[in-house]
Structure 1
Amino acid sequence: MPGTLIALLLAALPLQVLPLQKGTVMSVENGQVVVVRLGRSDRRVRLACVDAPEQSQQPWAQQSKAALANELPVGTAVTVELRARDVYDRIVGVVRRGGFDVAPEMLKNGMLFVHNGYLGRCDDLPYGAAETTARELGVGVWNRPGGIQRPWNLRLELNDANQEP
């Protein structure tokens, strides 16, 4: 009986408690990376579970960067839900402005791709529906049938180990 009680109590806990940090946007590097002042240090934060067009994929890369800069202007207060740290020592996380995740709006406008393969932990995010909306409307990266080449495939094709995702 005590084992059953413990199991019931554990089942009632949230599946995942992710650390949150408050910060201020200092700059936007591209369509998926922002520099955020967290405490006393500026940290590069990569949006979790999405991928932006590569610099060589113009005009989409510039449009994606501009869209993120519009969502997160310099000086904006944000909350970062920490999901992982990548091999480039970037924080990978969900970035919220005013309590709202910025990625779904960018996905709906075709500025990003859903990329579940990047460090995983994406099952709880409603990104697929947002990307489907953009695909059906044919906006942004989806303005061509099937969309533009996926950034992760382009990096593999170029076999550029030094290129950050």
Structure 2
Amino acid sequence: MIAFLLPLSINLLAAVPFQSGRVVAVEDGHVLQVRLANLNRRVRLACVDAPDQSQQPWAQQSRAALAAELPVGTAVTVELRARDVHGRIVGVVRRGGFDVAPEMLKTGMLFVHDGYLGRCDDLPYAAAETTAKELNVGVWNEPGGIKRPWDLRLERNNSNQEP
């Protein structure tokens, strides 16, 4: 799947590739709101996708896992990678210096999704997802895993739906 991204300003990336903030809310398994530079910003975890809301109980479990990992008020650092067409910052989110996505991938709460943001080869996400597949946990509890959320969006032919 090809997604359209709007790059962050070159100056912004060069000047501030990492921003510190606090979690304000968790929307789903891969989108949260973070207070950055005195503004609440929607942040989408880079290079992953969470189960679609129609994919219960996995979508709720994914959201709960992210909320447990990043409770409201948690200090985080966001490595800015891009801004998507929905106005969200796309980035790697770290708590205490550790990326939150690999653990969620290891427990089967997310899918690796490098089609959304082309710059993912520097992240250890595929190995984390392989661990979940081998353990048959989370979305991998079903043989081959559940239908990928990006495939559901394609079937619905809804290019405006936020991934």
Q: What is the TM-score of this pair, normalised by structure 1?
A: 0.89
Structure 1 unaligned blocks of 5 or more = 1-15
> Residue 10 of structure 1 corresponds to which residue in structure 2?
none
Match of 2:66 among 68, 77, 86: 68
Q: CA separation in 1, counterparts of 2:158 and 2:55?
A: 15
Instruction: Specify the SS of the correspondent of 1:157.
Output: helix
State the number of aligned residues: 150
Following superposition, the deviation at residue 72 of structure 1 comes to 0.3
Return the alpha-carbon distance in structure 2 between the equivalents of residues 39 and 84 of structure 1. Answer: 17
The residue aligned with 2:102 is 104
Q: Which residue of 2 aligns with 1:48?
A: 46
User: Highest Rg: 1 or 2?
Assistant: 1
Shift of 1:119: 1.7
The aligned counterpart of 1:125 is 123
In 1, Cα distance between equivalents of 2:38 and 2:73: 15
Map of 1:92 onto structure 2: 90
Higher relative contact order (CA 8 A, sep 6+): 2
Distance 2:123 2:80 in 1: 14
User: 4+ residue stretches of structure 1 with deviation over 3 A?
Assistant: none
How much does 1:162 deviate? 2.8
- What value does the CA root-mean-square deviation take over the aligned residues? 1.3
Structure 2: stretches of 5+ with no match in the other structure: 1-12
- Distance (whole Å) between structure 2 residues aligned to residue 120 and residue 42 of structure 1: 26
Identical residues among aligned pairs (%): 79
Aligned to 1:80: 78
Q: d(CA) in 2 for partners of 1:112 and 1:158?
A: 21
* TM-score, reference length from structure 2: 0.90
Mapped to 2, the partners of 1:25 and 1:138 lie a distance apart of 30
CA distance in 2, matches of 1:127, 1:162: 26
Question: Shift of the alpha carbon at 1:39?
Answer: 1.2
CA distance in structure 2 between the aligned counterparts of 1:125 and 1:71, rounded to whole angstroms: 19
| Letter in structure 2 aligned against 1:161 | S
In structure 2, what residue type is equivalent to 1:144?
E
